[in-house]
Structure 1
């Protein structure tokens, strides 16, 4: 059906994002075994509600990816700061995180720089941006909001309730509560990032005359860059000094922003490129999930079965998204240069 998207279509997209965010952020990554799938009802309000609020806030304001990326970074601090307090709890989840990240601990921050980098990378890229990009592939107009005022209010309430519930549950189970100063510092950083998000997304970047690379090249580059980040886990313990890894992360992150931002302003950048960029990062989580399978606390055969299920689901989603992009490209002639950074 042509014309404006139907309300049901937009609601399906919103619900899809609500479920996809925790499926990618927890299950595809290998943080949760397949036996914990019923726990999706606990993860979805925080992950899915957060991703949906970020997407709707940016699109309602007429903003695009720069705004969503910075808002995703703010979400990362919300989840791992005030909600579950992993940034400050040295024994989070029964693991000696304090010792693992001790080499880059900065007393003034109250946390480790390397841990902060990991939190920002995982949630900004995979918990929020990749799911948004994938689900928007199926939208007839990806810049249009999916929720009305009531839907947005309900989503905000669900997200808030999920954050409060998980925050309380974590504090009770971990027997840990951060200091008032740590909460205040995280709150200030979150507010600053939200303000920055709407400042940087005010005007789209200038377009370039150079053509964008082939979508396959974009996907391979996304897979290579994101895999290079996770390849650190394959290094022997203390093989590379922690502060060298911190510096490498900064170079890798800055390089990715510059490279993909430059390509996105190139002539011909379109839905195929956006899908390839998100798909390359998604496939990285697929292989990382198998590596994490050894630490799930369930029989390895069961963990691998779950990895196969979630990785297969990721491949199926990419195939469906690619088919959607091809069909739409074939259904209408190309006219001019499509919008880029939005």
Structure 2
């Protein structure tokens, strides 16, 4: 995804005080993120077919509320993408470990999520732990935030919610999380053991603590600014290839090593690139867009693998894919007019 490690640009974006905006414009980015997060995370992925699109109203409080809280927590404290991604990791562990408990459930939604790269001592699959948490970090939280922030460059690093809006979002997230936790049918009901719950809570606490231990401002860089950031198209191609490989990995211990290696390698490359001169909105969008393209083609594959690729769902998936492309094109037009910033 994108990086907050680049030094501040000498021509920063000029924030527009929210009080000058009407209520619809002031709330538009928050509302967009609220619904974009579940649409990308579940529907564009093809995990939930388009014929069940009404379910987005049930998922939005947890997914959208979570994405909004992650972003607001980072931006309100003056922090950037390292904090956002660490908080997104905490969200991923919370959802998979404590809410739907797919991390520990041996037959979640009728699928065997434990046998691949199984870790008996923890009662998890290392492969699916990386899939679940990584998927939430990249696609449930990171991509939606990056795309919506690109569309509102003058408010990219400012809070989108006032105190009342923040309180409502917290309430929605809590209710949405409870709906997921208690909404599992009796036939599929599963509860993690107490050690698993305590261990998961400890991991979440460490991730949140680390997220806020990250500095509020990027570290000064002396030499990197003499080098130019790569072309955004190259950045997007790297993101598309890396996310595609991450998405299509086989279920094995080898895939765990490969996936972890991809995450580390991409993080290192982005950290270096983002410190080069000229890094800006187009590059951040290229990272998000490359990852989003993976779900655009991956959604059709998942529909086929789950046996839900009927005419209605294929048409719906096509509409979702075209909508995602249109959103990227709109964000791209905005990014081209936006000066590079941190």
Partner residue in 2 for 1:339: 341
User: Quick one: distance in 2 between partners of 1:257 and 1:127?
Assistant: 18
1:172, distance to aligned residue in structure 2 (A): 3.6
More displaced, 262-271 or 51-60? 262-271
Partner residue in 2 for 1:170: 184
How many residues get paired? 321
Partner residue in 2 for 1:128: 141
Partner residue in 2 for 1:137: 150
More displaced, 46-55 or 202-211? 202-211
Q: Deviations over 1:88-142 (max 9, x none)?
A: 110100112233x2xx221222211111111121000000000000000122220
User: Quick one: distance in 1 between partners of 2:231 and 2:187?
Assistant: 49
1:294, distance to aligned residue in structure 2 (A): 1.0
Within the candidate set 122, 128, 137, 1:109 is matched to 122
User: Quick one: distance in 2 between partners of 1:4 and 1:22?
Assistant: 29
User: Quick one: distance in 2 between partners of 1:82 and 1:172?
Assistant: 17
Partner residue in 2 for 1:94: 110
Partner residue in 1 for 2:333: 323
User: Quick one: distance in 2 between partners of 1:188 and 1:320?
Assistant: 41
Partner residue in 1 for 2:197: 183
User: Quick one: distance in 2 between partners of 1:203 and 1:325?
Assistant: 23
2:184 alignment partner, SS class: helix
1:30, distance to aligned residue in structure 2 (A): 0.5
Q: Deviations over 1:15-73 (max 9, x none)?
A: 00000000000000010111111000111011000000000000000000000000000
Do residues 26 (structure 1) and 42 (structure 2) align?
A: yes
Q: Runs of 5+ in structure 2 lacking a partner?
A: 1-14
More displaced, 297-306 or 161-170? 297-306
User: Structure 1 residues 297, 245: closer, same or farther in 2, change over 3 A?
Assistant: closer
Are the aligned partners of 2:49 and 2:313 in contact in 1 as well (CA < 8 Å)? yes
Are the aligned partners of 1:294 and 1:303 in contact in 2 as well (CA < 8 Å)? no
Do residues 213 (structure 1) and 226 (structure 2) align?
A: no
Partner residue in 2 for 1:275: 285
Do residues 228 (structure 1) and 245 (structure 2) align?
A: yes
Within the candidate set 81, 85, 88, 1:72 is matched to 88
User: Quick one: distance in 2 between partners of 1:271 and 1:192?
Assistant: 30
User: Quick one: distance in 2 between partners of 1:129 and 1:173?
Assistant: 33
Structure 1 segments (4+ residues) deviating >6 Å: none
Q: What TM-score, normalized to structure 1?
A: 0.90
Partner residue in 2 for 1:154: 168
Q: What TM-score, normalized to structure 2?
A: 0.90
1:201, distance to aligned residue in structure 2 (A): 4.0
1:205, distance to aligned residue in structure 2 (A): 3.6
User: Quick one: distance in 2 between partners of 1:18 and 1:271?
Assistant: 21
Q: Deviations over 1:224-260 (max 9, x none)?
A: 1101112325xxxx7xxx2221111111110010011
Q: Runs of 5+ in structure 1 lacking a partner?
A: none
Do residues 17 (structure 1) and 33 (structure 2) align?
A: yes
Partner residue in 2 for 1:314: 324
Let me know the Cα RMSD of the aligned residues: 1.7
Partner residue in 1 for 2:63: 47
Do residues 264 (structure 1) and 274 (structure 2) align?
A: yes
User: Structure 1 residues 159, 172: closer, same or farther in 2, change over 3 A?
Assistant: farther
Q: Deviations over 1:164-194 (max 9, x none)?
A: 1110112645121111111111011001100
Partner residue in 2 for 1:244: 254
1:76, distance to aligned residue in structure 2 (A): 0.3
Are the aligned partners of 2:91 and 2:136 in contact in 1 as well (CA < 8 Å)? yes
